[in-house]
Amino acid sequence: MTHLPIHTPYDGSSKLFQIGLKPLDLRNWIEIDETFDFQLAEKRRIYAEHPDDVFVAEQGTEEAQAEVLALLSEHLPARFPERYRREGDRLIVIGHPELEGLDARKLPSLHKASLLVQEDLIVMRRGEEGWRLAAGSLCFPSSWLLTEKFGKPMSTIHEPVPGFGPGTRNAGLIDRMFDKLQVGQPVERFNWSIQAGDALYHPLSNAGRIDRATGRPIRFPDVEAAARAFIRVERQTLRKLPVSGDILFTIRIHLDPIALLKGRPDRAVLAASFAGQLMALDAEQLDYKGLTADRDRLVEALEGMAGLSRQERR
């Protein structure tokens, strides 16, 4: 991976454990970068290997799923003609012959839609208990399991997140924001975490990160190992569907080696801000992010990247 990070919410612009919704220009609803071909192929592989883990849908969501597919089929060739084109009623994904005839396959519409883009797609529906996860395709989970969250309201989904569980102020704010979301006024937010490798399919909890080769928990034994870690950035969007009234939640994963920050002209400021955010996390937040054992080594690596001397460090 040779590109510079596209999104750097760890610069302080999107603080962890805050809602941080911002207006989104619909032209920028979906993102495409140089990992497009790899990530679409990876989705097909994950669907083949974990079909029961990465797709769920309630009965009665078929029309909403079709609505998502229709919106994407309209948006993609107009926004990215170099990647998509229409041939009659068919949408062609250029360079992906495996997707030929996708429209005719007997798959749920949300499944089809998920194979067209790098984003994961979640449909939220309003019920008596609030907004619940009614359907979803999640090939690139960030330390959570789709099947465990299926059918549950937002407050229960967020129960493990410090300050966001049932009865908290943030849980109430999220429900109200979902209720007030208007068609044509989508929003976006960012989240980020640290992981040892570059796996997109990451369903394990952060606290239980396991090295598949050794079967042991992954830890960064020294500063050099911490400097080889990956930053997992989630770009999330919320868009109210005009027909069903459901909300489409998209999650786009960017995986960037921490070492890539060295190539940025603003690396000193960025690395110092990143380190400061890690130092600001409390014990409960560190535990949730799986960083209790590794935070200090990560901070030391970032401060070294920022060019801080030992005297300038904490």
DSSP 234-280: EEEEEEE-TTT--EEEEEEEEEEEGGGGGGSTTHHHHHHHHHHHHHH
Residue ranges of alpha helices (H) inside 50-91 are: 51-54, 62-79
Torsions phi, psi for 90 (to 5 deg): -95, 145
**Could you report the per-residue pLDDT of 119-164, keeping only the tens digit for each?**
999 999 999 999 999 999 999 999 899 999 999 999 999 999 999 9
Round to whole Å and give the CA distance between 42 and 29. 21
Any domain includes 79: yes
Any domain includes 97: yes
Round to whole Å and give the CA distance between 257 and 294. 16
| % residues pLDDT > 70 (the chain) | 92
List the one residue out of 101, 139, 116 whose CA is nearest residue 68: 116
Any domain includes 1: no
Contacts of 154 (CB under 8 A, 6+ apart): 124, 130, 131, 132, 171, 174, 175, 178
Any domain includes 4: no
pTM: 0.92
Give residue 313's pLDDT band: very low, low, confident or very high (50, 70, 90).
very low
Residue 232 pLDDT greater than 90, yes or no: yes
pLDDT of amino acid 1: 42
Q: Which amino acid makes up residue 106?
A: K
Residue 310 pLDDT greater than 60, yes or no: no
**Could you report the per-residue pLDDT of 182-228, keeping only the tens digit for each?**
999 999 999 999 988 899 999 875 444 555 555 555 678 788 888 88
Tokens of 244: 């069903």
Residue labelled with tokens 């598949």:
212
Query: Higher model confidence: residue 110 or residue 11?
Result: 110
Residue labelled with tokens 């960025």:
270
Any domain includes 2: no
Any domain includes 3: no
Q: Which domain holds residue 251?
A: 9-305
Round to whole Å and give the CA distance between 18 and 14. 8
- Average pLDDT of the chain is 90
Residue 314 pLDDT greater than 60, yes or no: no
Any domain includes 313: no
Beta bridge partners of 255: 232
Count of structural domains, the chain: 1
Question: 303-309 contacts: CB < 8 A, separation 24 or more?
Answer: 303/271, 303/272, 303/275, 304/223, 304/227, 305/227, 305/258, 305/261, 305/262, 305/267, 305/268, 305/271, 306/267, 306/268, 306/269, 306/271, 306/272, 306/275, 307/268, 308/272
Any domain includes 48: yes
